[in-house]
Amino acid sequence: MSGPTLTHRERVERALAHETTDRPPRDFAAEPDVWRRLRAHYRTDSHEEILRAFDTDCRIVSYDWEAFFRPPDTPADAPRAHRAWKRPLASDSYLDPWGARRTITVNEYSTYEELSDYPLAGAESVEDLARYAWPSPDWWDFSQLRAVIERVNPNREYHLRWRCGSIFETAWSLRGFDRMLLDLVVAPDIAGYIMDRILEIHLENLARVMAAAGDLIDMVYTYDDVASQQALLMSADMWGQLIRPRQERLFAAAKGYGKPLMLHCCGAVAPLIDELIDLGLDVLNPVQPLAAGMDLERLKERYGDRLTFHGGIDIQELLPRGTPKQVRREVERVTGILGRDGGYILAPAHHVQADTPVENVLALYGLS
């Protein structure tokens, strides 16, 4: 990489413009157990200190943070902090903002959140769905958004993205994964109604966020996993009929505010990339290199002048099972491919999982 040393925000902006930078921009995401071990390693309670140690260039603010989510049963004097909101049901269970129950589950590797109740599973008609206690945009309060952003990103030092939530993923978290896939085939009116109610919230929240602090937000980020390790979860035609129109509206809204758009979609998403670019996609994450059709050389050759890649460092085999030397070597290889002529943000290909040694996380950022 070449050129003068850049600020964090400049580095990302130039990468998005497909210009070479002094080094590839960096980002980081991990599961809670990884953060816990990193806090112990650095002897800090601050995630920000860890991000600074990794010299990352990006920061994030999310629609589901406690600072913003205020459902009717929330006490007016409840403490506000920028972390994910949880409406407790029991010591090991909570409701997310949409009303899905999530239970804290422990296995031999980690502690994680598992969906344990699907509140729309029993609905048999659109009328049943209409009677559900859907969230209202008024359950969100963005009056403190500028203050929160200033704490997360003082003086606009970092490239900041707004995480506005998912459509299909949130829909199946309410309906059940199997039932939602079946609905796409036999009850598209039910699937469509659920996704439309979710989309309405995202669009209104995005409008209010941009009105409150759009000048402080650099990018809009949404996520929707529609692929597995080997193939799409539904046919490309079905995606085009039922998922694409909703994503198109969300993409268009973000682009209408003059913001680049980043999409997270795990797995073998290659068959949809051309269509996603047509919809206005700017940044694709997480670029899962072991998934079918996600060869990095081919992706860069075909889309490198139209798309920025975010991720690409394997979390399935390399980070949990490799050596620090192998991690460093792979970082060099991936940045040489995806970072050629800009258009790449270095990051793991999803949240780093709990079976990953700390030394390999450090090696990812040249610290081990």
| Residue among 272, 358, 344 nearest 313 (CA) | 344
**What mean pLDDT do residues 248-274 have?**
97
Residue 155: Cβ-neighbour burial (10 angstroms; 0-12, 13-18, 19+): exposed
Which pLDDT band, with edges at 50, 70 and 90, does 80 fall under?
A: very low
Which neighbouring-strand residues pair with 223?
264
Which neighbouring-strand residues pair with 93?
90, 103
Edge-to-edge strands, sheet with 111-117: 87-90, 93-95, 101-106, 111-117
Encoding tokens for residue 322?
């490799």
| Structure-model confidence comparison of residues 86 and 330, the more confident one | 330
Report the C-alpha gap between 167 and 164 in whole angstroms: 10
Q: What is the 3-state secondary structure of the chain?
A: CCCCCCCHHHHHHHHHCCCCCCCCCECCCECHHHHHHHHHHHCCCCHHHHHHHCCCCEEEEECCECCCECCCCCCCCCCCCCCECCEEEECCEEECCCCCEEEEEECCCCEEEEEEECCCCCCCCHHHHHCCCCCCHHHECCCCHHHHHHHHCHHHCCEEEEEEECCHHHHHHHHCHHHHHHHHHHCHHHHHHHHHHHHHHHHHHHHHHHHHHHHHCCEEEEECCCECCCCECCCHHHHHHHHHHHHHHHHHHHHHCCCCEEEECCCCCHHHHHHHHHCCCCEEECCCCCCCCCCHHHHHHHHCCCCEEEEEECCCCHHHHCCHHHHHHHHHHHHHHHCCCCCEEEEECCCECCCCCHHHHHHHCCCC
Report the C-alpha gap between 255 and 164 in whole angstroms: 14
The tens digit of pLDDT for each residue in 112-160 reads: 889 999 999 999 999 999 999 999 999 999 999 999 999 999 999 999 9
**What mean pLDDT do residues 298-303 have?**
98
pTM comes to 0.94
| Structure-model confidence comparison of residues 108 and 160, the more confident one | 160
Which neighbouring-strand residues pair with 347?
312
The tens digit of pLDDT for each residue in 182-228 reads: 999 999 999 999 999 999 999 999 999 999 999 999 999 999 999 99
Residue 112: Cβ-neighbour burial (10 angstroms; 0-12, 13-18, 19+): middle
> pLDDT at residue 241 above 90?
yes
**What mean pLDDT do residues 265-285 have?**
98
Neighbours of 324 (CB within 10 A): 16
Q: What is the pLDDT of residue 86?
A: 63
Report the C-alpha gap between 49 and 327 in whole angstroms: 23
> pLDDT at residue 82 above 50?
no
> pLDDT at residue 79 above 60?
no
Report the C-alpha gap between 310 and 347 in whole angstroms: 6
| Residue among 233, 334, 352 nearest 289 (CA) | 334
CA angle 209, 214, 217 (to 5 degrees): 105
Which pLDDT band, with edges at 50, 70 and 90, does 317 fall under?
A: very high
CATH 3.40.50.1950 fits 8-364, yes or no: no
Q: What is the pLDDT of residue 87?
A: 64
Q: Report residue 151 CA to chain centroid gap.
A: 21
Report the C-alpha gap between 364 and 74 in whole angstroms: 41
Mean pLDDT of the residues in the chain = 94
In the chain, where the domains are located: 8-364
> pLDDT at residue 84 above 90?
no
Q: What is the pLDDT of residue 368?
A: 85
Q: What is the pLDDT of residue 40?
A: 98
Which pLDDT band, with edges at 50, 70 and 90, does 81 fall under?
A: very low
> pLDDT at residue 279 above 90?
yes
**What mean pLDDT do residues 17-23 have?**
96
